[in-house]
Amino acid sequence: MATLKQLAEKEELFTGGHRLCAGCGIPQIIRLILRSVGENCSVVGTTATGCLEVGTSIYPYSSWRIPWIHSAFENASATMTGIEAAYNALKRKGKIAKDKEIKFLAMGGDGGTYDIGFQALSGALERGQDFVYLCYDNGAYMNTGIQRSSATPFGSATTTSPAGSAIPGKTQWRKDLTRIVAAHNIPYAAQASAHNWKDLQRKAERAFAVKGPAFLNVVSPCPLGWYSKPELSMETAKLAVETCYWPIYEIDEGVLKVNYKPKEKKPIEEWLKLQGRFKHLFKEENKGLLKEFQDRIDLEWARLLDLDGKHI
């Protein structure tokens, strides 16, 4: 695993000057993952429609210093399947040197991964395509107006699950996509956070190293949709982990390992109170929802700990 100094000395493949929001977690995630590609390897990327695509590729400018394709909202995985197939065909024909190694990285937000792009993702995983899929999870369709997705947390106010007299924000629990992906029996799947660079970098290295599909699900703060302060983005990401809302774990060749266990698990209120999308939960009439949220977190964390070190 590379040291921070070694990572800093690597070529920058994702430039500054993009149009992603101040405090957005996406740039840190992408820069680190691109620096985690193995030595003597090239990387080809494709990105589903979303914040990352819109903020980095407004014609005639681009933030990408790799071969990169903008996919439609629903088909980043299918696009990467075609790229990988073309690479293998060209290698067989001798048009690409046999010792030239190219890695393939598909990227999408939670809307383009949990929801719209899930069919293409599931198909690519089932076929065993050799690529890495990165989901930057900011918990809603942030690029198109902060609509709820299946990754949106319970109780969150969005433009399509507004907190008011009819409903107190989103009434459903978020989909556990990492476990769903792992159920495809792929070599590697992991959850990580933008604030923990060492853990994320190690997982990215592992994802690029395995033969076959690998999946990285990374929580990505969004000040615009979370109604949080941009300067507190890494603090909100850290609290997502410290409260166990967003556990850091990996499933490597079928064995689940919890990578971080807080010495003192913090109450979920500490994460919620930094975000305006949850402010209604602190009203007297919604105290029961806070308890429901905490009870579910505690249950899911206990279940995860029970699986630690086991083949699932």
Number of domains comprising the chain? 1
Cα 132 → chain centroid: 12
Read off the pLDDT of residues 38-72 as tens digits, 9 standing for 90 and up. Answer: 777 899 999 999 999 999 999 899 999 999 999 99
Judged against a pLDDT cut of 80, whether residue 4 lies above it is answered with no
Please choose, from the candidates 46, 236, 274, the residue with its C-alpha nearest in 3D space to the C-alpha of residue 137.
Answer: 236
29's tokens: 């995630």
Residue 210 lies in a domain: yes
Around Cβ 59, how many Cβ atoms within 10 Å? 5
Residue 111 lies in a domain: yes
Cα distances (Å, whole numbers) of residue 279 to 160, 273, 289: 17, 7, 12
Read off the pLDDT of residues 136-155 as tens digits, 9 standing for 90 and up. Answer: 999 999 999 999 999 999 99
Residue 113 contacts residue 121 (beta carbons within 8 Å): yes
Residue 90 lies in a domain: yes
Which strand (E) or helix (H) includes residue 213? none
Read off the pLDDT of residues 264-303 as tens digits, 9 standing for 90 and up. Answer: 999 999 999 999 999 999 999 999 999 999 999 999 999 9
Residue 72 contacts residue 78 (beta carbons within 8 Å): no
Residue 312 lies in a domain: no
Residue 224 lies in a domain: yes
Domain that holds residue 31: 4-307
Residue 274 lies in a domain: yes
Judged against a pLDDT cut of 90, whether residue 3 lies above it is answered with no
Residue 182 lies in a domain: yes
CATH code of 63's domain: 3.40.50.970
Check residue 1 and give its pLDDT. Answer: 75
